[in-house]
Amino acid sequence: MPDILSSSYELLVIRTDFSAPQAWEAVRATIGSMVDNEWILEDDEGEFVAPVQYLDDPAYEGATAEEILALLPEEYDPAFFVVVDEVAVRLPEMPLLLVDLRVERGRQMRVIATELYSIEANLSIGNMDFAEFADAMDEEGIFRGF
């Protein structure tokens, strides 16, 4: 797998399952609707940008969260990254795999795609931490909101 080159402010959403192109597009549309409505940043040049980088490269097919973590540059700063794996594309709620990068580096949790923004927003301003969301996963091991 090639090294992952990502800016320090963009949330990385990496596709590791290529069996369901429609599900990948649904994940992107769900995240995109959050970006369009509430999740826009102003960059250093005053331009408004969506703080999401989609990595859609078959070289990462089947990659584990641990393998991806090892490829991230040290200066990558977001609180977590997102993996769109077989579970996320198979289930209707699209339970994305999130991997903590700050407090408990490598800790994982699942979140339905529609709740991704609430986690990112709270972590980016330091209002909550990754563990609070991970500890609130339901009996199926998925965070569906408070």
Domain tally, the chain: 1
Here the CATH number for the domain that contains residue 63 is 3.40.50.800
Q: Which range among 18-27, 44-53, 129-138 shows the weakest confidence by mean pLDDT?
A: 44-53
53 in a structural domain: yes
- Is the pTM for the entire model greater than 0.85? yes
67 in a structural domain: yes
- Taking only the tens place, the pLDDT of each residue in 33-62 is 775 555 555 555 655 455 788 999 999 999
129 in a structural domain: yes
Q: What Å distances lie between residue 64 and 34, 71, 77, 100, 134, CA to CA?
A: 26, 11, 20, 14, 19
| pLDDT at 40 (0 to 100) | 53
Which range marks the domain in which residue 128 is found?
A: 11-140
SS3 content of the chain, % helix, strand, coil (to 5): 35, 20, 45
38 in a structural domain: yes
Report the distance separating Cα 54 and Cα 63, nearest Å: 15
- Taking only the tens place, the pLDDT of each residue in 63-73 is 999 999 998 87
What mean pLDDT, rounded, does the chain reach? 86
